[in-house]
Structure 1
Amino acid sequence: MKKGLYWWEYEDASGLQRGQLWQRLTQAEQAEIVRLNGYRKRKKIPNAALEYLKSVFPLPIDRRDLLSMSEYERRCGFGKGEVLKLLSDEQREHLVNLGYRRSQKLTYRAMLYLKSLGYY
C-alpha cells in the first residue's frame, strides 16, 4: 500500500463506506490518531498516523475476503446466527467495538478476532 492515503482511500480499501472508519474506531484509537495529527478529512494521513491505523485497523489482502457475518458463518460450517450465540456477552461487545454491525460486512479486524477465538 502506498504511503499518505486519504481517509476515503483507506475506507475503500477496508471495504467500508465513506465516514464509517472513524465510527468503527474506539475513543482511545480516535484520540491517538488525533494526537498524531492524522484525522483531517481533505488531507492525506501522515505516515505516523497511517502506521498506527494499520496496526489497530488492519486491511484485508483482498476485498473479496470481506464477508457478512452470515457468509462468514456459512464458510465456517455454522448456521445463521450460531456464532453470535456461542460468544459470551463480553466477546459480543468486543466484536461490536471492533466494528461489527448487523447487516454490514465484517471488518477485517473483527474477522481476525473471530479467528483468534477459533471460529474459522
Structure 2
Amino acid sequence: MSMLGLKFESLPAKRLLAGLICFYMTCTLPAWASEPADKAQIDSASGLVIQPGFEMVRAHCTACHSAKLVTQNHMSRERWLSTIRWMQKTQNLWPLPQEDEILDYLSANYGERDMGRRAPLPAHLMPKS
C-alpha cells in the first residue's frame, strides 16, 4: 500500500495509517455534525425555541415588541414575572390568561445563566428625570 509516496507494507503500519485517518476525520468534523440530536428547534420567523408554550409567547410577546427582547434575556421565573408585571403597569400589557404556561416556557427556554444581565437598580438608585 502506498500513500503520498510512502509505503505501508506491514500490518502495524497499515493500522497506524488507518488510525491516523480516523483521528483526522474525527477532528475535522463540521460543528453541526457534533450537535446533539435533541437540540431544540428554533422558529425561523421569530427565533423562539419551539416548545410547549411557544405559540402563546409568540402571540402575546411579539404583538408589542420583537422576539429578540425575549431571546436575548435570560431570567429566573421570578424575574420574568416581575418583567411582565412592569409591562402591565407601565406599558399597558393586558392580563395574561395563560400566565403560568408562559412563565413555564420562558423560564425553561430563557432561564437564568451564569453570565446574565444584572438585576434592575432599585428605584432610589435610579437617576432623577
TM-score (normalised: structure 1) = 0.28
Larger radius of gyration: 2
TM-score (normalised: structure 2) = 0.26
Q: Which has the higher contact order (CA 8 A, sep 6+)?
A: 1
